[in-house]
Structure 1
Amino acid sequence: MHTEILEEVICYHCGDECPETPIIHQDKTFCCHGCEQVYELLNENHLDAYYSCDLNPGISPTDKNFDFLNNKAFRDRLITFSNADFSKVSFHLPAIHCRSCLYLLENLQKVNPQIIKTSLNFGKKDLTVWFKEDQLSLGALATLIASLGYEPHISNAEERPQNKDQKKLFLKLGIAGFCAGNAMLFSFPEYLGIDDGSLQALFGYLNLALGSVAVFYSGSDYFSQVYAHLKLRKMTIELPILLGILVGYGRSVFEILSHTGAGYIDSVSGLIFFLLIGKWFQQKSFDFLSFERNYKAYFPLVVTRMANGKEEIAPLEEIQVGDRLLIRNQEIIPADAYLLKGQSQMDYSFVTGESELIPIQAGQSIYAGGKHLGESIEIQLSKELNQSHLTQLWEQQAFKDPHHKTENWENFANNVGMYFTGILLSLATAAGIYWYNVDPSRWSNAVVSILVIACPCALAVSYPFALGHGIRWLAKFHFFVKDIQTFERMAQVDTLVFDKTGTLTLQSQQEPSVHFNREVTDKEWNAIYSLVYQSTHPLSKQAKKFLQQRSLIAFSEFKEHSGKGLEATFDDLFVQIGSAKYTLNKLDLPEGFISSETRLFVSINQEPIGFIEFPWENRPGIEAMLHSLRHQYEVHLISGDKKEHAAHLLDWFEDQNHVKFECSPLDKMEYIQALQKQGKIVAMIGDGLNDAGALKQAAVGIAVSDDHLHFTPSSDAILKGSELPHLGEFLNYSKFGLQLIKASFLLSLVYNGFGLSYAIQGNLYPLIAAILMPINSISMLVIATWGMNWKGQALNRFKIRLKAE
């Protein structure tokens, strides 16, 4: 296997593996003509320095046409400024990933002189272009950028409003940092033991002002969160943190106003600053990915509407009930409708998961989300887009309630907070009462020291940093986790539910096997090829690809029998293809196998001659992954296909009760709900719109996608298809992260135990407690960061070793 790796030929432009016969141009290898054309374009415009910035930096280009952007509705939405000389537009380009992208996109004016200049925001992956719109249309500009491999992301779904909460967090973080830095500056005389009464008082008042802003503005979220939780009679980790902050601040106010000390404003402000950094790290996510999608995200941006017998391009949001639409081959039906003209083979696998084609005749209903295969058809809309059959999935509670995943789930920090708060308050109260009766001069020092030193700030800081680093490492392996709450839920999962088609299995790339009971002449092969050429059925498409070196010959009396097969006469040959029953092939097959997706039966002159078998292709490493996962998890399979279509998968699942076929999207969601009612913590792994409900309902929804920058259903995480065999390692990594947090918290308790032993005796001054607290937090942060990085590097080495083997 080492030899195969060494002989692997990669594309000079994009770095992907080339086919067996790569394209050679100027002594360079390319995987496709698209990559070759991009190379030629860059070379002709003296932009070949693009390849010197990074090794194989390119992205495979797309031939998608964006002329629909010239429609006024889209043009007005995208153009941010326009005058007689130039127009300005911003595109979101998810494929941006390296320095070469920056170099190329900021030199687009060399590719097309109608582009005046460009500016790239690398972090947000946004490209701003100034161009001469009278000479280069908006659609042509977008098409040019897409042809270079940076397809603009133009979504039909409602875009999320700018995150105001994140802006507020940044403002609070900045103010807390300002207050902490200046409080330390004003505390330097105290640190150095300089005694100047007038300056000491002035600096004390300035510190008090800074501390008040830090506590009551930057730390305001802790007040609101604690209040909300107390109303629900819940104690979380925020309560002891807030107590520590208020006690430190209150003691500082007393000392500064009474001129008995300098207070601890610097420590309190610094603590709030570090806590807010943890919150920012916790909220940081992948802006270039879309984890939240509704049904509109899957539909085309524009449709072809028939008006007065003429075709016109219309934005999807403008269509209404009664409109007539022209639907071409491979286009998706945007709303429930009736078929007016033509015939359709409708592929509803996008919605139901069932991959068999449904024949539709004029007058019959067509449902939103179906993909039309065949000649152009004309439909008339019967329902609004948001009232279609497909949208019933988004009426479920899982889609309506944004907090449904967390309302019945408590993270480790809050579980600890519930017990920790009670113990801490009891300890402080008992110490205060004891010293108030024994030695009143010690009770305040004892209470303040206990509340400050036992503040679980170490957990509040290490928790987001550890899990945040875990998310960062998983992203390196093309596993994009939405947030740290998802990362923690992954660690607690005990049940895995897999979809089949597109997740465990793919369209086979292997050569089909021919099982004929006699020799077939060239003319007969040509007749079979000519017949399958007329069909859009998946099996016919695979057969057409298999027989593509054959010749088309004329035929007559062509007929299609819905759900059975095709037939036609070729001079002296009468050829039938389809199911075993239709072609009179009598084989020992289980009942229902006549609709199998894997065998195309053939009959010539009513003589059954056998079948061509098109095997399923399982993702490499899937079988080993499932066997491994069965030792740690309860593993299930749910699919929209019939049982006979996946009989070969049954051996991979230990309990046949864990396998269910012919599931609709609602069936899949209800299957997850049933497992959750049994107390299971479920992760759903799927790939299509038909899995969206199950992904949303599960504690963790993992969308598997071979192109994560484009199609992904609503989910908590996005996993590149080629990385699916490593799912077990990724889940174990999340478990390690949670164990690391628990270990660091226990270590923190031991650390605080020494301080508390002095605090309870009233011998630990609050100043010492205020120093020990940040030292504890920083040490836990270092442990969390080092541990996750160490484990992430070990996971990376493990993957490299597997690839080498």
Structure 2
Amino acid sequence: MEQLVQSPQTNTKCYHCGETFADEIVHFQEKDFCCQGCKNVYELLQDHELGTYYTCDVNPGISPSLQNFDYLNKPAFRDKLIQFSNQDISKVSFNLPSIHCRSCLYLLENLHKLDSGIVKTQLNFGKKELSVWFREQEISLGALASLLAKVGYEPLLSEESEGNEKKKRLSQQTQLFIKLGVAGFCAGNIMLFSFPEYLGIEDGNLKYLFGYLNLILGSIALFYSGSDYFKNIWAHIKLKKITIEMPILLGVLVGYSRSVYEILSHTGAGYMDSVSGLLFFLLIGKWFQQKSFDFLSFERKYTSYFPLVITKIMQGKEEMAPLSEIQVGDRLRIRNEEIIPADAILIKGKSNMDYSFVTGESEWVAIQSGNLIYAGGKHHGEMIEIEVKKDLQQSHLTQLWEQQAFKDPSFKAENWENFANQVGIYFTIGLITLATIVALYWIQVDPSKWQNSVVSILVIACPCALAISYPFALGHGVRWLSKSNLYVKDIQALERMGQVDTVVFDKTGTLTLAKSEAPNVYLHRDLSENELDILYSLSLQSTHPLSRRLCTYTQSFGDRKLLSISSFKEVPGKGLEARWKELHIKIGSAKFLGINPNVSPQDFFSSESQLFIQIGDDALGYLDFPWENREGVEFMLRKLQHHYDVFLVSGDKTNHAASLKDWFATEDHMKFECSPMEKMDFIKQLQAEGKKVMMVGDGLNDAGALQQAHVGIAVSDDHLHFTPASDAILQGRSLSRLPEFLNFSKKAITLIKMSFLLSLVYNTIGLSFAVQGNLSPLVAAILMPVNSISMLIIATWGMNIYGKRLKTN
């Protein structure tokens, strides 16, 4: 029924997850799967009569994870996650970032069919949060999390402090929703109570009653729904700063004050409908501005990259403990591909340590017993034991987070003012000056006109159109970019993208990938089946990247036999050697094999990309496993260089520059062997020269530079997990579209400026009547929200046109 067929070249897609086959095809029930995991999920769903899952969407699934969550059963973790528990039922909520379509909704709300211990589930699709009621005596918390991972929805478990930050943001959003609702309620009812005025009904008592009701509702709208404007302006006044909110609030207060006077003196109905309506539109813009991707994490601490649980050795036995309980002197057990949580000494075993996540250096470092290991390194090889030598907060890695860019959360906001606030300074000064001049003129010429003139000027010239078009235009921009796999943190980050004039790239993981691929073959003859088995058996003994890639290459010719080799020896950084029967086998660098490769400079990329092979006395030649450049990256760099200054900063060695030097203007535009601190300092140096810098990187080693830069973009092939702190997250496959995204951000800024100019024309015409005292404050109050709505329509319509073009491209 089931058959495994090697087929690296096929373009068929997996029936479950839709991914293109890379290494193998699993046939089952006349369907093809990319891996055993996808096949197992399909079989599980069929066995529980959940086959309808596949009718909801085409290729709806996600490749499953084998992550073990048994540690969640320990009280230290369980008590933090369980929201409610009695003798029978417990409730827990998980963040499931992999949710993406209606099939996910169908499966997760039918999860009780997969295990009888699950009572019911409820999915909040927008927040990607699943609430589960379950019986702990039938299915434990760890088993529940493992079941979710098994069907492709691995829970994202964050550190407690990150969870608190998220709760704080949700609380702020909830408060904004309440204020928005109150403003809408007040605006709607004020318009209803203003009908006697609209229709010219002269019933005095009814008119006065509705006037007082409007005054109460208008006061609630201004002082409750608009309270944030008062707080922000007061905070900026203390800092001696003027923002766009000041003339807006000034116009609103003038309209409100005039309304209070007219209502209480029974000389008019006031303009509470315009005041509350404007506040409602402003809060909608503010909500649109704050709306972001709840399922993405743009703010990362260094502990975000470490496991939540570590394995301690206590009295010779393993004990699972939270990361926060690590102490100096603790002995920890680290398994293959686990991250080192603190600076430590290697006590038992050997390790090939991958520091690329921290330093950017792509080559692994061989670590022997007694050597120091730094936090953030990823261990490759057999299980090892380490002894913690530094507290978690004092490790080498935490030096990044001692920088000002990480300490001050308002670092970017305070250093780079946006267009709206820059305009606000001059607008406020000009508006107050004009109103003062007009008031002084009419007091001398015709005192009966000065009050109406000043009120009309302050109301009609309110820059609310800019305050509304700004968040709506950029908010739509953020939405359209997300459809192209660029997830921008907020509208301020998108605006800063439009100001960039310099782009700095990391290399490893950003421009290049170390993915397994068919090598370039430079052998003087074909390998026999027996020789393939020999190379497979030898390469399987090592965790070096080239050994792993050789192992995969031999498997591409069919199933391999594991031979019993002897005298195995690995010389770190050079190669492997062993014996099989009478044959002596060596693989590694040309120098290790004692071979003069006679390779021309055009064919030579770097020593780490070539693997020479010798079987017996026969030097067969070499296989070239070059680093894989991301698709379209060279064209992207050349296109960027027409409009931007483009640099490369990398932790890799200088000899990796050979294949990249043609991509950059001069050698001065490439810097190698850079530490994380040196990357950050390089960004600071460019900024000191007056440049607006965008940093594009992928690893924790880039986190400092990403924070320091005008805009930091984290490139990730899995945008839901483990991206450094950044202003935006870009899926790796869309990196080649970066010039389009930057051009799109510039168009967004241009559209805002055009709408502002149009608003100025409108204000100029209105002011020409207002300064003459010929414009009633009532007409000004009506025209003010009309102007705002027109700007909103222009912003929405314009960005949707640009967005559709971006999507089409």
- Scaled by the length of structure 1, the TM-score of the pair is 0.95
The offset of 1:594, in angstroms, is 11
* Match in the other structure for 1:362: 369
Match of residue 230, structure 1, among 237, 244, 260: 237
Tell me how far apart the structure 1 counterparts of residues 152 and 543 of structure 2 sit (CA, whole Å).
30
Cα deviations by residue, 1:409-447 (Å, 9 ceiling, x for unpaired): 111101111111111111111111111111111111111
The offset of 1:147, in angstroms, is 1.3
Q: Which amino acid aligns with 1:494?
A: D
The offset of 1:569, in angstroms, is 3.0
Note if contact 1:14-1:56 (Cα within 8 Å) is conserved in structure 2: yes
* Match in the other structure for 2:572: 562
Alignment coverage as a number of residue pairs: 791
* Match in the other structure for 1:60: 63
1:420 has 2:423 as partner: no
* Match in the other structure for 1:38: 41
Counting only pairs closer than 5 Å after superposition, residues 412-451 of structure 1 correspond to structure 2 as 412-451=419-458
Percent identity between the two aligned chains: 65
* Match in the other structure for 1:88: 91
* Match in the other structure for 1:162: 168
1:108 has 2:111 as partner: yes
The offset of 1:461, in angstroms, is 0.7
The offset of 1:231, in angstroms, is 2.8
Query: SS at 2:766's partner residue?
Result: helix
1:783 has 2:794 as partner: yes
Note if contact 1:61-1:148 (Cα within 8 Å) is conserved in structure 2: yes
Match of residue 32, structure 2, among 24, 29, 32: 29
* Match in the other structure for 2:324: 317
1:710 has 2:721 as partner: yes
Tell me how far apart the structure 1 counterparts of residues 245 and 685 of structure 2 sit (CA, whole Å).
34
Query: SS at 2:659's partner residue?
Result: helix
Note if contact 1:581-1:594 (Cα within 8 Å) is conserved in structure 2: no
The offset of 1:520, in angstroms, is 6.1
The offset of 1:363, in angstroms, is 1.5
Query: SS at 1:710's partner residue?
Result: coil
Query: SS at 2:416's partner residue?
Result: coil
Cα deviations by residue, 1:489-528 (Å, 9 ceiling, x for unpaired): 0111111111111111112443113334567666555444
The offset of 1:269, in angstroms, is 1.1
Note if contact 1:583-1:606 (Cα within 8 Å) is conserved in structure 2: no
The offset of 1:71, in angstroms, is 1.8
* Match in the other structure for 1:654: 665
Cα deviations by residue, 1:524-573 (Å, 9 ceiling, x for unpaired): 55444333221111111111111235544333333333333232233333
Query: SS at 1:581's partner residue?
Result: helix
- Of 322-331 and 573-582, the range deviating more from structure 2: 573-582
Match of residue 353, structure 2, among 339, 346, 350: 346
- Of 735-744 and 602-611, the range deviating more from structure 2: 602-611
Change beyond 3 A, Cα 1:157–1:80: closer
Q: Which amino acid aligns with 2:444?
A: N
Change beyond 3 A, Cα 1:43–1:335: same
Match of residue 575, structure 1, among 585, 597, 605: 585
* Match in the other structure for 2:785: 774
Change beyond 3 A, Cα 1:693–1:589: farther
1:626 has 2:634 as partner: no
Query: SS at 2:168's partner residue?
Result: coil
* Match in the other structure for 1:796: 807
Note if contact 2:357-2:699 (Cα within 8 Å) is conserved in structure 1: yes
Q: Which amino acid aligns with 2:168?
A: Q
Change beyond 3 A, Cα 1:61–1:556: closer
Counting only pairs closer than 5 Å after superposition, residues 152-231 of structure 1 correspond to structure 2 as 152-156=155-159, 158-159=161-162, 160=165, 161-163=167-169, 164-231=171-238
Query: SS at 1:672's partner residue?
Result: helix
Note if contact 2:605-2:656 (Cα within 8 Å) is conserved in structure 1: no
Tell me how far apart the structure 1 counterparts of residues 724 and 758 of structure 2 sit (CA, whole Å).
41
* Match in the other structure for 1:668: 679
Match of residue 743, structure 2, among 732, 750, 760: 732
- Of 178-187 and 274-283, the range deviating more from structure 2: 178-187
Cα deviations by residue, 1:282-330 (Å, 9 ceiling, x for unpaired): 1111000100111111111212111111112222112211111111222
Change beyond 3 A, Cα 1:9–1:586: closer
Cα deviations by residue, 1:314-351 (Å, 9 ceiling, x for unpaired): 22112211111111222111111111112222111121
Tell me how far apart the structure 1 counterparts of residues 279 and 516 of structure 2 sit (CA, whole Å).
57
Q: Which amino acid aligns with 1:100?
A: S
Tell me how far apart the structure 2 counterparts of residues 361 and 708 of structure 1 sit (CA, whole Å).
35
* Match in the other structure for 1:553: 563
Tell me how far apart the structure 1 counterparts of residues 276 and 730 of structure 2 sit (CA, whole Å).
40
The offset of 1:587, in angstroms, is 3.6
Counting only pairs closer than 5 Å after superposition, residues 572-611 of structure 1 correspond to structure 2 as 572-587=582-597, 596-604=607-615, 609-611=620-622
Change beyond 3 A, Cα 1:519–1:438: closer
The offset of 1:615, in angstroms, is 1.8
- Of 710-719 and 8-17, the range deviating more from structure 2: 8-17
Note if contact 2:605-2:659 (Cα within 8 Å) is conserved in structure 1: no
Query: SS at 1:492's partner residue?
Result: coil
The offset of 1:590, in angstroms, is 10
1:722 has 2:733 as partner: yes
The offset of 1:15, in angstroms, is 2.4
The offset of 1:682, in angstroms, is 0.8
Change beyond 3 A, Cα 1:99–1:777: same
Tell me how far apart the structure 2 counterparts of residues 20 and 29 of structure 1 sit (CA, whole Å).
13
* Match in the other structure for 1:297: 304
* Match in the other structure for 1:693: 704
Tell me how far apart the structure 1 counterparts of residues 17 and 379 of structure 2 sit (CA, whole Å).
32
Tell me how far apart the structure 1 counterparts of residues 605 and 479 of structure 2 sit (CA, whole Å).
49
Cα deviations by residue, 1:13-51 (Å, 9 ceiling, x for unpaired): 222234586444333333323222222222222222222
5+ residue gaps in structure 2? 1-9
Change beyond 3 A, Cα 1:56–1:523: closer
* Match in the other structure for 1:639: 650
Query: SS at 1:162's partner residue?
Result: helix
* Match in the other structure for 1:4: none
Tell me how far apart the structure 1 counterparts of residues 331 and 664 of structure 2 sit (CA, whole Å).
48
Note if contact 1:558-1:569 (Cα within 8 Å) is conserved in structure 2: yes
Query: SS at 1:407's partner residue?
Result: helix
